[in-house]
Structures are given as structure tokens and as C-alpha cells.
Amino acid sequence: MAQSVKVVITNRQKDVKIPSGIRLLIRRCCHAVLATEGFEGPAEVSVSFVNNEQIRELNNEFRHKDAATDVLSFPLGENGVYDINEETGAYQLGDVVISVPKAMEQAEQYGHSLQREMGFLTVHSMLHLLGYDHEAGGLEALRMREKEETVMSKLGLARDQSYTMQ
């Protein structure tokens, strides 16, 4: 792997106990996205676990949508240009904020594990940090979906497989 990524994970909610292995899974997802995208150089990403109320507030403040959502991405880069951490020399990709209660809800709704849902949300958000977007739909959304599926398959988290912790 030509890149290294430092993933800082913070649990800011108490609604759901974070299952063991989730933090490692999140790190693996971040690595897999950067490897798949051929991202060169060291990178840093921040991942926060929040509850529905916290993500609703962020969604309202930054996207003017007064509703809880599953994940929010706050990219620090634009058009492949990123801020560099003066101390480490790493590219600062941005922040990922995941609502753990919402992820649990969706895992149940889609009939798969919380691990797969958290993995998917992380991969999805990492692609946003790298500049992918699906908001307009069409080809961009399709490209992003294909990238998500590619990374999820590499991680052994493809849709048709159940995921077991090693």
C-alpha cells in the first residue's frame, strides 16, 4: 500500500454501546478506500460516533435539513487539494460523522449486520471526502455506487455476504 492513514475515532454518544471490532473495521474501510483510489501519501481522517439528535443538529446547521441522517461528511479538500498537517505532513481529508442509532436502525431495516452498515457508511463518507458526489444523481451517483461496491467486496462486506468478525 502506497499510503498510510491515521484515523482518529471519537465516540460522542452514549445511546449505543460500540461493539468490539467496529473501530478496527472503520480503519480498514478508510485504508481500503484510499488504496482503491490510488491515493498517494499519508492522510488523516476524523470519525465521530454521534446519536440522532446530534446528527440532526449538524444536518440542520450545515445542510439546512432538520432531520436525523445516517452519516455526514465534512471534506477539508477541494478538487484533490488538501490541507496538510504541519506536524505530520499528512493530508487532512476531513471529518466523518456517523449516527450509530441510525446505523443500527438501517442494519435492521436492510437485514444485515451493524458492522456491514457502519462499514458502508464509512466507505460512502470517505468517497465524499475524496470528492465524489451523488446528490445530483445520474452518472456521478452511479460511479460512486460502483466504487462503494468495489471497496465493500474487497473488505468481504459485499451485499450478498454476511459479515463475521475474525
Alpha-carbon distances, residue 92 vs 18, 43, 85 (angstroms):
25, 6, 6
Task: Check if the beta carbon of residue 23 is closer than 8 Å to that of residue 165.
Answer: no
Here the contacts of 55-58 (C-beta below 8 Å, separation 24 or greater) are 55/97, 55/98, 55/99, 55/102, 58/97
* Residue whose C-alpha cell reads 446519536 in the numeric block: 51
> Which helix H or strand E contains 48, and what residues bound it?
strand 43-50
Per-domain residue ranges of the chain:
5-154
The CA distance from 104 to 119, in Å, is 12
Instruction: Answer yes or no: is 124 a known binding residue.
Output: yes
Instruction: Answer yes or no: is 31 a known binding residue.
Output: no
Q: Look at residue 79 in the predicted model and tell me its pLDDT.
A: 80
Instruction: Answer yes or no: is 64 a known binding residue.
Output: no
pLDDT, averaged in runs of 10, over the chain (166 residues): 81 95 97 95 96 98 97 90 92 97 96 95 97 85 93 86 41
Closest CA to 120 of 8, 29, 9, 12: 29
Q: Which CATH architecture has domain 5-154?
A: 3-Layer(aba) Sandwich (3.40)
Q: Look at residue 163 in the predicted model and tell me its pLDDT.
A: 42
